[in-house]
Amino acid sequence: MKRTPSGSYDYLIVGAGFAGSVLAERLATQLGKRVMVIDRRPHIAGNAFDHYNEDGVWVHRYGPHIFHTNAQRIVDYLSQFTEWRPYEHRVLAQVNDQQVPIPINLTTLNMLYDLDLDETQAAEFLTSRAEPVENIRTSEDVVVSQVGRELYEMFFRGYTRKQWGLDPSELDKSVTARVPTRTNTDDRYFTDSFQIMPKDGYTALFENLLAHPNITLQLGVDFEAVRDQVDYHHLIYTGPIDEYFGYQLGKLPYRCLRFQHETLNQEVFQPVGVVNYPSEDVPYTRITEYKYLTGQQHPKTSVTYEFPTDQGDPYYPIPRAENTELYRRYRALANATPGVTFLGRLGSYRYYNMDQVVGQALATFEYLAEAHAGDSLA
Ligand code: FAD
């Protein structure tokens, strides 16, 4: 336990994203714990942060965040902190001079090949294109064996090379376990039973999560700067697990993104929320137009181009066997470190969607609450 004269906390939580903020809320409201939450960024909400830019257009700073889940209990939990608006996400892919629905569906096939297939014929078409691969090892094998080489090259090869900086033939098959293709005209990107966006945005949702008087929030504060100054019993760490241990086993590799935000003097830029650019002729992977996601009416519109890079904030753990192994070794160190709980996408070195992180935080709370009940009985 660390001591300072400034008062003591039951929990110090590093990171005000979904993982840290959900746990802070539960610990404060359910167990009456005193919690300090810090974040090195100048704002709450982690990567889900949204705000009104200088032109008054509502944007997501770290790329499009679309809430979708099949878990009623996650929706029930978050509904205490926000109202919702329905939003079904749609994505088009720019292929040659056409913008076609992705995941590949009946419309995609008819547009690309100038055909008039029905559902049965589309299924037959895909089967006839598939190229059997005897031993499926890589991401390329998965896609080629399901939709054939031509569609693989149109939609997957270039996009994956840009996204990961690796050819699909170098990525494990688990990265693309299944290629979602549809033979009907359903053009929704997700099929989850809940496809909704927080009505007033993610940042407003987080303000409500963190509003409890037992929660003290400090922004623009790095854990390193306060680790020996704040007086706490237990640490919840949602930052990068390798950073916590001073990278002593080596750095866990991440793919990073550079976001180029632009506001345009026109009401609409593109026909849907996201357009993907699979071709390697352009350096970005996709363009997002936020007004589709937020429902905002405004005479201007804001878009974000995403450029994958090796440098910058950690976004996507790189799914390769040697990285999973390195993470396992950090996890062993974490298990041998009493008084600290690691979670969230950076603490778990795992790409999680928001609903999954909320689920992980709620499960961690249950675990801590049981330990707390045990302590009280002791
Ligand atoms: P984060 O939101 O990253 O929060 C961690 C916080 O910890 C950060 O704010 C960071 O500043 C802080 N921190 C780290 N280290 C320290 C330190 N040493 N000291 C102080 N503070 C520290 N999910 C979906 O469900 N739908 C989507 O559409 C979607 N789109 C995405 C798009 C992109 C481009 C990316 C990268 C992710 C997307 N996600 C999406 C995933 C979503 O962002 C994550 O599930 C969610 O942000 C995870 O929450 P978290 O709390 O684990 O991490």
Q: Check residue 2 and give its pLDDT.
A: 42
Q: How far does the chain reach from its first CA to its final CA, in angstroms?
A: 20
Token pair 């590093």: residue: 14
Q: Check residue 4 and give its pLDDT.
A: 40
Burial tier of 201 (Cβ tally within 10 Å: 0-12, 13-18, 19+): buried
Domains and CATH numbers, the chain: 8-44+210-253+318-377 (3.40.50.720), 105-176 (no CATH)
Q: Check residue 355 and give its pLDDT.
A: 98
| CA-closest candidate to residue 74, choices 354, 367, 364, 368 | 354
Q: Check residue 17 and give its pLDDT.
A: 98
Residue nearest to atom 41 of ligand 1 (CA): 353
Kindly give the parts of the chain with pLDDT less than 50: 1-5, 378
Atom of ligand 1 nearest to the CA of 221: 20
19: Cβ below 6 Å to ligand 1? Answer: yes
Q: Check residue 174 and give its pLDDT.
A: 79
CA distance 104 to 108: 6
Q: In DSSP terms, which residues pair with 260 in a beta bridge?
A: 305
Q: Check residue 1 and give its pLDDT.
A: 40
Write the pLDDT tens digit of every residue in 46-96. 999 999 999 999 999 999 999 999 999 999 999 999 999 999 999 999 999
Q: Check residue 3 and give its pLDDT.
A: 39
The CA distances from residue 25 to 31, 80, 194, in Å, are 10, 11, 23
Atom of ligand 1 nearest to the CA of 352: 45
315: Cβ below 6 Å to ligand 1? Answer: yes
Q: Check residue 283 and give its pLDDT.
A: 96
CA of 315 from ligand 1 middle (Å) equals: 8
46: Cβ below 6 Å to ligand 1? Answer: yes
Q: Check residue 377 and give its pLDDT.
A: 56
Within 13 Å of residue 311, how many CA atoms lie on the same side as its CB? 0
The CA distances from residue 196 to 75, 88, 100, 184, in Å, are 9, 7, 24, 23
Q: Check residue 320 and give its pLDDT.
A: 84
CA of 45 from ligand 1 middle (Å) equals: 8
Ligand 1 site-directed mutation target among 23, 36, 60, 65, most atoms within 8 Å of CB: 65
Q: Check residue 7 and give its pLDDT.
A: 59
36: Cβ below 6 Å to ligand 1? Answer: no
CA of 47 from ligand 1 middle (Å) equals: 4
CA of 170 from ligand 1 middle (Å) equals: 26
Atom of ligand 1 nearest to the CA of 356: 45
The pairing of strands 58-60 and 50-52 is antiparallel
Q: Check residue 5 and give its pLDDT.
A: 37
Q: How many CB atoms lie within 10 A of CB 374?
A: 9
Burial 124-133 (b: 16+ CB within 10 A, else e): ebbeebeeeb
Ligand 1 site-directed mutation target among 354, 356, 362, most atoms within 8 Å of CB: 354
